Structures are given as structure tokens and as C-alpha cells.
């Protein structure tokens, strides 16, 4: 009896509460898996929900250094690897491949926390050769993602930085940052902190598709309002801008953030490094099949015919007519709303820094 001819399995469908549609192997894996229909496939078969797991990351160093010429900081801290927010556009997704995991669903369901972060930070800051420069918290994954509510690792890091007067720029899209408003307000009075809060859309339905487990747009605007009222300088980050998906909201996002108290703004064009290209295309066809080809064509126009170019200076802004138009729209809106566009770290004070004492339970004699 001849074996049945195997047919390709239908395209995967989006899971409720998750951003990525599938879970492809990372680029370092030797083997790949391809699903086929062996006759038992049932399109209406329900898939069980994917639970989030958190493992400990026992790293020995907590400060990450970089020499990129197109970003304003040379050091950063990421309390977590992976991010439960599930933002499909997250440029950090490919970093999960270094752990032998998928940049897809693994990235948002298999998290790694660094419980020793505060202790490791204090040790690095007290080294004799350390010279303070603004440190960015959350440059890769969100330091205020949902698990932070329970683990409070980010909070402990900020306590160390506040205690030794070390400047920090925080990047997040979470309203949970308001929990630390009092601590941040004290640092703001000493010019030690700035906050960049990402607002990608004002449409709750679009936000649910793009970033399923992140706080809603109204909650993020409320967080900007609360931080600004506490005296913390807040930058609204209209990032990323995706052609024909959310770019039409650029001016409205800036207006809403300015009304909430944001004092500066930045914007970034969608970045699709490594595995993120395939993940984004898959998501685009699943949620916006009517415009998928148009979105991808525009992105190629912005990156010299490719979906992404890693060239410094262009990777976050793109080039060509559409990218130039986006830049002009942003500049005009910022001038009208009196939103600054300079580097957020430029005004932070590095002169007050004092290394943490060797024993955090004791003060210093002088």
C-alpha cells in the first residue's frame, strides 16, 4: 500500500496573547524542522496556551559595553533576557539564538532573569579603574516587563545607581516604571536620570497585535504624565515606525505625549536583523495580508533593496524618499510641539559619582 503523499502544513496561526506566529530554529542550530501534514492535521485543533517560564541567569558581569558610532551610550544593563511583552518588531529577538533558543515564541516565553544584578553592578562600579558615563538600562529587553513586578531586579539596580549618584537613562514601554517614581524623582533633582518611554500606536487594537502583553497606549501616556509630574524628564520614543502600519500616527503620538508632559522625542524606523525578517513577514501575512507586499516593498526601498541594512547611521533611519519624508514629518512636528530631539544622556551629571562602599550595610567614614 503506497504511503500517503505528505502535504505542507497550513501556515501557522497567531496565538492569543503572543506576538510571534511560530518558533523557528535560531541561526546557530545545525538542524531545522519542517512541519508536514501526514493526514492527521486538523486545522481547527486547539493549541494549548504557552506558559511563561523564568530561569536564573548566573552571569558574572552585568555591564555590557559597545562601540557603536550611532548610539549615545557605551554601556548598558539588561536585567532580563527575552521579553514577555511579545513585541513582534523587537530587534532583540535574534539574541535568543545565542542561548540555543528560538527568536520566535521562545523569546517571549522562555525568560532569563539576573538575580545578582545589583550585587554585580556594585562590584563593577567600585573597581579602581571605573570611570562613570551615563548607563542605559533596558537597551536590549524591557527592564520593566511583567516579571519585574515580582522579582524587582530593576528596582534593586536603580537603588544602587541612586546610592552612588551614577547617571542612568532608562528605556521602557511599561507603566510599571511609575512604581519607582519617588526613587527616580530624587535622582532627577540631581540630574542623574532620564526616561525614554516607547509609544508605537494610540490604537489599542493595533497595540494588542503588535505588542500583546505590553501596557495599553492610555496606560503609557498616563505613565509619562506621572513621571513628568514627579519632575523626571521623559522622552517619547515613536519607535519603531512601520510603513503603512503605524507611521500615519507619528504626529498624533507626539502630540499626545507632549500633552502628557514629555519634553523630548525620538523615532526609529523598523529594524529587521537576522531571524527577525522571517518572523516579521510571517506576522505581517497573518495579520495584514492586504498590505503585506506594500509594507515589505517600502522597507526594501528604505534599505537599498534589502529588508534591512546594518550600516551604522542608516540602520535606525533608513534612506530614500519614504525615510526622508518620515524624517521631515518628525522634525516639523517636534518644532511645532517644542519637543527637544537631542541626546537624552547629554544633560546627565557624571561628576557626583562616588563608588559604592565595599560593604553595602555600612556607610563611609568620609
Give residue 201's Cα distance to chain centre. Answer: 15
- pLDDT-derived band of residue 240, with 50, 70 and 90 as boundaries? very high
pLDDT score for 72: 80
Give the pLDDT mean for 182-208. 98
Residue 81: Cβ-neighbour burial (10 angstroms; 0-12, 13-18, 19+): buried
CB 72 within 8 A of CB 345: yes
Is residue 350 assigned to a domain?
Answer: no
Domain span at residue 187? 52-268
Residue 354 lies in a domain: no
* pLDDT reading at 44 higher than 50: no
Which helix (H) or strand (E) element contains residue 112? strand 110-113
* Per-residue pLDDT, 70: 76
Q: Would the pLDDT of 158 be above 70?
A: yes
* pLDDT of 312: 84
* 184 in any annotated domain: yes
pLDDT at 365 (0 to 100): 43
Q: What is the mean pLDDT of residues 225-233?
A: 98
Which long-range contacts link 284-290 to residues 24+ away (Cβ below 8 Å)?
285/11, 286/11, 286/12, 286/13, 286/14, 286/21, 287/14, 287/209, 288/245
Instruction: Please give the pLDDT value at position 36.
Output: 63
More confident residue, 191 or 310: 191
Q: Which residue has the cell 533596558?
A: 138
Query: 339, 263, 275, 340: which is closest to 308 by C-alpha?
Result: 275
> In this predicted structure, what is the pLDDT of residue 40?
61
pLDDT for 135: 96
Residue 82 covered by a domain: yes
Which H or E element spans position 158?
Answer: helix 153-163
- Positive or negative, the CA dihedral 158, 162, 168, 171 is positive
Q: How many other C-beta atoms are found inside a 10 Å radius of the C-beta of residue 7?
A: 11
Confidence of residue 49 (pLDDT cuts 50, 70, 90): confident
Exposed/middle/buried for residue 10 (C-beta within 10 Å: 0-12, 13-18, 19+): exposed
pLDDT, average across residues 162-175? 98
Model pLDDT, residue 327: 97
30 domain residue, yes or no: no
Global pTM? 0.91
pLDDT tens per residue, range 272-321 = 999 999 999 999 999 999 999 999 999 999 999 999 998 888 889 999 99
- Residue 162 counted as domain residue: yes
Tell me what pLDDT residue 313 has.
81
When the pLDDT of each residue in the chain is averaged and rounded to a whole number, the result is: 92
Determine, yes or no, domain membership for 319.
Answer: no
CATH number (domain holding residue 256): 3.20.20.70
User: Does a structural domain hold residue 355?
Assistant: no
Whether pLDDT at 341 is above 50: yes
Tens-place pLDDT, residues 60-82: 999 999 988 778 888 999 999 99
pLDDT in tens, 18-27: 999 999 999 9
Kindly tell me if the per-residue pLDDT of 170 is higher than 50: yes
Total domains in the fold of the chain = 1
pLDDT at 346: 76
- pLDDT at residue 362 greater than cutoff 50: no
- Cell readout for 45 is 485543533
Position 344 pLDDT exceeds 80: no
- Give the pLDDT score at 118: 98
Q: Count Cα neighbours of 286 within 13 Å in the Cβ-side half-sphere.
A: 21
The mean pLDDT of 235-264, rounded to a whole number, is 98
How many residues can be counted in the chain?
A: 366
Residue 364 reports pLDDT greater than 50: no
Amino acid at each position: 500500500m503506497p504511503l500517503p503523499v505528505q502535504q505542507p502544513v497550513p501556515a501557522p496561526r497567531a496565538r492569543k496573547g503572543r506576538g510571534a506566529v511560530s518558533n523557528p530554529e535560531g541561526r546557530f542550530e545545525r538542524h531545522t524542522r519542517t512541519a508536514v501534514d501526514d493526514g492527521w492535521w486538523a486545522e481547527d485543533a486547539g493549541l494549548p496556551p504557552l506558559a511563561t517560564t523564568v530561569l536564573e541567569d548566573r552571569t558574572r558581569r552585568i555591564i555590557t559595553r559597545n562601540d557603536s558610532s550611532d548610539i549615545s551610550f557605551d554601556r548598558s544593563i539588561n536585567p532580563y533576557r527575552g521579553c514577555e511583552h511579545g513585541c513582534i518588531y523587537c530587534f532583540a529577538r535574534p539574541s535568543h539564538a545565542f542561548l540555543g533558543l528560538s527568536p520566535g515564541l521562545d523569546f517571549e516565553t522562555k525568560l532569563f532573569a539576573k538575580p545578582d544584578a545589583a550585587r554585580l553592578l556594585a562590584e563593577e562600579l567600585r573597581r579602581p579603574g571605573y570611570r562613570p558615563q551615563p548607563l542605559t538600562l533596558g537597551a536590549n529587553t524591557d527592564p520593566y516587563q511583567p516579571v519585574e513586578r515580582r522579582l524587582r531586579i530593576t528596582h534593586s539596580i536603580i537603588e544602587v545607581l541612586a546610592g552612588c549618584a551614577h547617571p542612568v537613562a532608562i528605556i521602557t514601554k511599561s507603566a510599571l516604571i511609575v512604581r519607582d517614581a519617588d526613587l527616580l524623582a530624587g535622582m532627577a533633582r540631581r540630574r542623574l536620570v532620564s526616561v525614554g518611554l516607547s509609544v508605537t500606536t494610540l490604537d489599542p487594537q493595533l497595540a494588542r497585535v503588535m505588542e500583546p502583553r505590553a501596557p495599553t497606549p492610555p496606560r503609557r501616556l498616563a505613565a509619562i504624565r506621572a513621571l513628568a509630574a514627579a519632575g523626571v524628564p521623559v522622552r517619547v520614543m515613536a519607535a519603531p515606525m512601520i510603513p503603512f502600519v503605524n507611521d500615519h500616527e507619528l504626529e498624533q503620538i507626539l502630540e499626545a505625549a507632549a500633552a502628557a508632559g514629555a519634553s523630548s522625542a525620538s523615532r526609529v524606523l523598523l529594524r529587521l536583523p537576522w531571524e527577525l525578517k522571517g518572523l516579521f513577514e510571517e506576522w505581517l501575512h497573518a495579520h495584514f495580508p492586504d498590505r503585506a507586499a506594500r509594507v515589505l516593498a517600502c522597507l526594501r526601498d528604505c534599505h537599498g533593496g534589502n529588508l534591512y541594512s546594518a550600516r551604522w547611521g542608516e540602520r535606525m533611519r533608513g534612506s530614500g524618499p519614504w525615510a526622508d519624508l518620515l524624517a521631515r514629518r518628525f522634525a516639523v512636528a517636534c518644532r511645532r510641539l517644542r519637543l527637544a530631539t537631542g541626546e537624552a544622556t547629554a544633560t546627565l551629571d557624571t561628576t557626583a559619582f562616588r563608588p559604592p562602599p565595599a560593604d553595602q550595610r555600612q556607610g563611609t567614614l568620609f
